[in-house]
Structure 1
Amino acid sequence: MPAFKKTKIPLLWLRRHTSDRNFVLISSVLVGFTAGLAAVALKTFVHYIQVLLAWGNRFLDQPVWLVVFPIIGILLTVFIAVVFFRGKLGRGTASILYSIAQKSSMVERHKMYSHVLTSGITAGFGGSAGLESPIVVTGSAIGSNFGREYHLNYRDRTLLLACGAAAGIAAVFNAPVAGVLFAIEVLLTDISIAAFIPLIMSAVVGALCSKIILREDILFSFDQISPFAASNVLYYVFLGIMAGLVSVYYTRMALRIEEVFEPYQNQVFRRALVGGLLLGLLIMLFPPLFGEGYQSIKILESGDPAGLLQNSWLSFFGTNPWFVLAFVGALALVKVVATTLTIASGGNGGNFAPSMFVGAHLGFFFSRTLNMLNIGNLPESSFTLVGMAGILSGVMHAPLTAIFLIAEITGGYTLMIPLMIVSATSFAMVKYFEPYSLDTKKLAQKGELLTRDKDQTVLRIMKIRHLIETDFQQVAPEATLGELVQVIAHSRRNLFPVVNKEQQLEGIILLENVREVMFRTEKYDTVQVKELMAQPPAAVQYNDSMADVMNKFDETGAWNLPVLDGKQYIGFVSKSSIFTKYRKLLIKTTEL
């Protein structure tokens, strides 16, 4: 008997002999364990790819690998995606949010492993993107498919999906609280207290996997933290404002570069080659852009930024302190370009780690500048760490995740007050300019995103194409009254669309409007339908949003409205079918 079936049998027994609540708790542990192992596998995979590349580089006289390896990684990723997954990887947390909103939290099975493979190759070969989003996708796919395998309902399946994501984040950073908060802030639009327990259990199990298996040099952590001084509060506020502005720049620049690559979506290998070359040239100027970038954050935290210039073409200009500082500031801005080039050209990765990279360099740049100008005596390591939370809050729209993530990776809550100041300030700034995060903006523009407004959420999920009724008997405008009476006699409806030969709607016949004349047999052959029809109070277009449709119903007071595709008649949509569907979706999307 296959191992999978042997494992499945006791779980099926538990499914039948335990309550739904207890089964979800057990499932959350199993999902957390599996997602934690997937995160460990991905981090280990990337680590050993880079160890192998570093060993091979010893045989080269100059660091041309900085250009060549990222191109190889992106091309390999595109090849695997096209050949094995038909080019449909569904990158980033946006794909999971889409699955929650539009696919009843059903995530494709291949995402349980495809993102581990492709993102590992992209980042391992130097692609300037993070592994956290692929881990979120992997963990979410594990949770979703576990729920599907054991026939859990939408709410429980969504909860397990979030458990997988929480465990993935917890495992990457050994930060279970941040994993739970990420699931709540980014994936779940509504949550009840009862849902916290499965999330916590998954996150703890995921964090234990990485804590037990991974070595300290693979995990991202800090031990030297300067104590918080109340006299620096104003400087932290200024850093929060800067982080908010840079987060807006990050979001808009990333979307703009993606738009440049959009016309070449079908030319996958050409796009990968061009994007890889541009990325390689950037890395030759700014070597810290190679890979996730956590090593350069640790260099900043140690207080010796000159080490970032190693292998850079720009090292020709020396290591003057002001030049090094300008180099650090430039890194904060070009990282956005490098990350977007990596992803838009076909690589797999996310913006979580790049956000932290940008924030660290911004925080160091800000504090070192003021120190060199003798304006203050700021703890640069603290500003480096707090800056990460500022950009993460602004780009991901997840301030709580950012605050507790930095608190956990620093091993305490020494920086809690400055973390809260910078994250809240940055988030407030970004919210004013960008209501949606980088990962959700496109979904929101298409109306495919769940929100905390239940009415708007349900209306966005509903689509006209699922509500069209086509069992209305059509009549031609040239038909006689007698022919109309025959149609009425064989119909259960009291409304009849008048449609011409080109299938265009010319009007409607309401039974109540022709009830008197239909019994006057002497007019059966002389009166035509076009003389009896009336114009509908409004028409619904096939691509209209449900909010627009409901506005038309409210304005006209009608119970049925025709649906057109341009001028072509398709059918009718009725209030009763909308209300029925609305009620079902409201129940389906109720609190977890």
Structure 2
Amino acid sequence: MIHSAATHPRRPLADHSADRRMLLLAAAALAVGSGGAAGAGVLLKAIAIATNLFWFGRLSAAPSAIVDNTLGLWLVAGPVIGSVIVGVMARYGSDKIRGHGIPEAIEAILYGESRLSPRVALLKPLSSAISIGSGGPFGAEGPIIMTGGAIGSLFAQAFHLSAAERKALLVAGAAAGMTAIFGTPMAAIMLAIEVLLFEWKPRSFVPLVIAVLAAWLWRPLLIDQGPLFPVHHAIDLGSPHIALALAVGALAGAQASLLSTVLYRIEDAFARLPIHWMWWPALGGIVVGLGGLIDAHTLGAGYASIRGLLDGSLAMQVVVALLIVKAVIWLVALGSGTSGGVLAPLLLLGGALGFVLGQFLPGGAALWALAGMAGILSGAMRAPLMGSLFAVELTGDFAMLPLTLAASAGAYAVSVLVMRRSILTEKIARRGRHVLQEYTIDPFDFLQAAQIMTPQPEVLFDTMPLAEAAAFFGTARHRSYPVTTADGTLKGIVSRGDALRWQVDGIPPDTTLGDTLSDASQHCGTPHDPLGRIADLMVETGTGRIPIVDPATGRVIGILTRHDLLKVRHVHHEGETMRARR
């Protein structure tokens, strides 16, 4: 029996089985999306409770603004106390709650088989609520992405799903949480695709969409409905606006690069301190408190300030404070290891830059604040489609999509030229793990064996005596050869190791090769097999040379070696980098 691509016993499950698994994941995504939405609702309530406790001394989940506090100089104490609590939670609870949340989710996906613990699912939102509620200049999106991801991961672990299925549900939960917080389903899907999934497959895309839609449907009941910052710009976009958006985006990309560089230098400075990292957030809290004394608008998530930038109602003095003071306290606080997200601060900083530039550009400051927000998200996170969609979904003004897309493209171009990695993947790279955020087609998936194989290979006949075969292997160029009948039909494969075994086992030297072969030794491919299947076959069998046979006749028509596969990668690389000469 000759195993073709369709009959090989180690081939993955059939397509209908994969379809069934996708449907099961889609059903699970309903529960995960609902859990992500519920987690978002709980997180926002926890932030409101912490804000009331720290700044007004009352136990309440009612919305409140830090700028309304009357603490005076005692304002500095709030961020410091909150940071001490977070530091203690990180040391004695889990150090995975430190930082943004998104890099930790990426690392769990790529290197941790998409496993997140119940402890992280509980402590991440709690620590973030304390951090943001006490004045930490962060957003809720990073924590809820980590929490929603943990919900998806824990659900998958409870039902003993595979690592790939855990990844699909982890990302679905993360995107669901982001959708519930911001009401941006398309941007959440693009964040998952551009930053978290590292693949485009129905198995992951369908559950992702279902979880996001479930969270979007729950959002009016748990949080709010409609755009988070509804704004309509009554302007007809033209070529001058698009050209200016590219320029504003380029400046936002430079701003994102500068922020990322400074952030990791601050992180390095904290790492050189002669005290335990548990106390670093407290030092960052002092800087946050001092920044709050300059302008209390810089404290907390700053959603009210984002709204003011987008509707053009903020005073220029406040905008300048956001642009400078907010940047300083956010970078120091984040570099110290405090728990919190990066999306809201980036929106504020990019929006403030656009607002200032808008004083000199046509269309009004609010229009260019929108462009700045899209640009800085694209540049900092290397997610241009997410950045452009996120900005318009926040406002509900989809007519401005060409503007935000242009700004995102400009920022993305500058970021790629200036920064080696995004603000998210740089953190992972510092742990010795490089993450490539580019999608390319694997040549092993689309090239077929017929395009690479060596045709009409040298073969041994099944009638050859073992003594003659042993002598042949004494001078042979290769370690193994196909064995065929007189008409070229594959009988099996023999190697130099087989020749040694014949002598050890005392097999009579006049025995023919055909008599030593069995079905179990026959490994082959067909001309239409993708190279990936041939490579898998090499790994499974430990054979570096795979015969290629005509599936209709079973005759050997070629051979494919490990060296051939390596040449494919080299040729593909040359196609990406070498320029043709005239």
Where on the TM-score scale, by shorter chain, does this alignment land: which range? 0.5 to 0.7
1:332 aligns with 2:323: yes
Deviation per residue, 1:339-384 (Å, 9 max, x gap):
222233342012111111111111111102x1xxxxx542222211
The aligned counterpart of 1:47 is 48
* Superposition deviation, residue 131 in structure 1: 1.4
Matches of 2:76 and 2:254 in 1, distance apart?
A: 31
Q: Which runs of 5+ in 1 are unaligned?
A: 1-15, 307-323, 371-375, 457-558, 560-575, 580-592
* Superposition deviation, residue 247 in structure 1: 1.0
The aligned counterpart of 2:373 is 388
* Superposition deviation, residue 95 in structure 1: 1.2
1:214 aligns with 2:249: no
The aligned counterpart of 2:28 is 27
Q: Structure 2: which amino acid aligns with 1:246?
A: Q
1:301 corresponds, among 303, 307, 310, to: 310
More displaced, 245-254 or 19-28? Answer: 19-28
* Superposition deviation, residue 252 in structure 1: 0.6
1:170 corresponds, among 158, 179, 182, to: 179
The aligned counterpart of 2:231 is 223
1:185 aligns with 2:199: no
Matched residue of 1:443: which SS?
Answer: helix
The aligned counterpart of 1:263 is 272
Matches of 1:347 and 1:353 in 2, distance apart?
A: 15
Mapping 1:72-91, distance limit 5 Å: 72-85=81-94, 87-89=95-97, 91=99
Mapping 1:386-425, distance limit 5 Å: 386-425=371-410
Matches of 2:405 and 2:204 in 1, distance apart?
A: 25
* Superposition deviation, residue 42 in structure 1: 0.5
1:362 aligns with 2:353: yes
Matches of 1:400 and 1:61 in 2, distance apart?
A: 42
* Superposition deviation, residue 66 in structure 1: 3.1
Q: Structure 1: which amino acid aligns with 2:384?
A: P
The aligned counterpart of 2:72 is 63
* Superposition deviation, residue 455 in structure 1: 8.2
Cα distance 1:247–1:272, how it changes in 2: closer, same or farther (>3 A)?
closer
Matches of 1:229 and 1:24 in 2, distance apart?
A: 42
* Superposition deviation, residue 424 in structure 1: 0.6
The aligned counterpart of 1:106 is 115
CA contact (8 A) 1:227 1:414 kept: no
1:141 aligns with 2:150: yes
Mapping 1:521-532, distance limit 5 Å: none
Matches of 1:27 and 1:270 in 2, distance apart?
A: 41
* Superposition deviation, residue 293 in structure 1: 1.3
Q: Which runs of 5+ in 2 are unaligned?
A: 1-16, 58-65, 444-543, 545-561, 566-582
Q: Structure 2: which amino acid aligns with 1:178?
A: A
Cα distance 1:411–1:84, how it changes in 2: closer, same or farther (>3 A)?
same
Matches of 1:303 and 1:435 in 2, distance apart?
A: 35
2:435 corresponds, among 442, 446, 449, to: 449
The aligned counterpart of 2:423 is 438
Cα distance 1:60–1:189, how it changes in 2: closer, same or farther (>3 A)?
closer
Matches of 2:137 and 2:98 in 1, distance apart?
A: 18
Deviation per residue, 1:534-591 (Å, 9 max, x gap):
xxxxxxxxxxxxxxxxxxxxxxxxx9xxxxxxxxxxxxxxxx9xx9xxxxxxxxxxxx
Matches of 1:250 and 1:105 in 2, distance apart?
A: 29
Cα distance 1:387–1:347, how it changes in 2: closer, same or farther (>3 A)?
same
Cα distance 1:76–1:360, how it changes in 2: closer, same or farther (>3 A)?
same
Mapping 1:7-26, distance limit 5 Å: 19-26=20-27
Matches of 1:388 and 1:23 in 2, distance apart?
A: 38
* Superposition deviation, residue 399 in structure 1: 1.1
Matches of 1:384 and 1:88 in 2, distance apart?
A: 34
Matched residue of 1:106: which SS?
Answer: coil
* Superposition deviation, residue 281 in structure 1: 1.0
* Superposition deviation, residue 202 in structure 1: 0.3
Deviation per residue, 1:244-292 (Å, 9 max, x gap):
1111111111111111111248523542332211221122113221001
Cα distance 1:48–1:210, how it changes in 2: closer, same or farther (>3 A)?
farther
CA contact (8 A) 1:236 1:418 kept: yes
1:344 corresponds, among 324, 328, 335, to: 335
* Superposition deviation, residue 417 in structure 1: 0.9
Cα distance 1:442–1:273, how it changes in 2: closer, same or farther (>3 A)?
closer
Deviation per residue, 1:318-348 (Å, 9 max, x gap):
xxxxxx45x5245224433212222333420
Matched residue of 2:155: which SS?
Answer: helix
* Superposition deviation, residue 164 in structure 1: 0.7
* Superposition deviation, residue 65 in structure 1: 4.5
Matches of 1:237 and 1:345 in 2, distance apart?
A: 34
Cα distance 1:150–1:62, how it changes in 2: closer, same or farther (>3 A)?
closer
Matches of 1:379 and 1:116 in 2, distance apart?
A: 37
Deviation per residue, 1:193-226 (Å, 9 max, x gap):
4532211110011122222221469x73223333
Mapping 1:453-532, distance limit 5 Å: none
Matches of 2:96 and 2:170 in 1, distance apart?
A: 20
Query: Once superposed, what is the RMSD of the aligned Cα atoms?
Result: 3.1
CA contact (8 A) 2:184 2:393 kept: yes
Cα distance 1:81–1:194, how it changes in 2: closer, same or farther (>3 A)?
closer
Cα distance 1:61–1:123, how it changes in 2: closer, same or farther (>3 A)?
closer
Matched residue of 2:271: which SS?
Answer: helix
Deviation per residue, 1:431-460 (Å, 9 max, x gap):
11113211101323523536546989xxxx
* Superposition deviation, residue 77 in structure 1: 1.1
Cα distance 1:45–1:59, how it changes in 2: closer, same or farther (>3 A)?
closer
Deviation per residue, 1:371-411 (Å, 9 max, x gap):
xxxxx542222211221111111111111111111221212
The aligned counterpart of 1:509 is none
* Superposition deviation, residue 142 in structure 1: 1.2
CA contact (8 A) 1:181 1:401 kept: yes
Matches of 1:259 and 1:228 in 2, distance apart?
A: 47
Q: Structure 2: which amino acid aligns with 1:332?
A: L
Deviation per residue, 1:176-209 (Å, 9 max, x gap):
1111111111101111245322111100111222
TM-score (normalised: structure 1)? 0.66
CA contact (8 A) 1:174 1:208 kept: no
Count of equivalent residues: 421
TM-score (normalised: structure 2)? 0.67
CA contact (8 A) 2:128 2:340 kept: yes
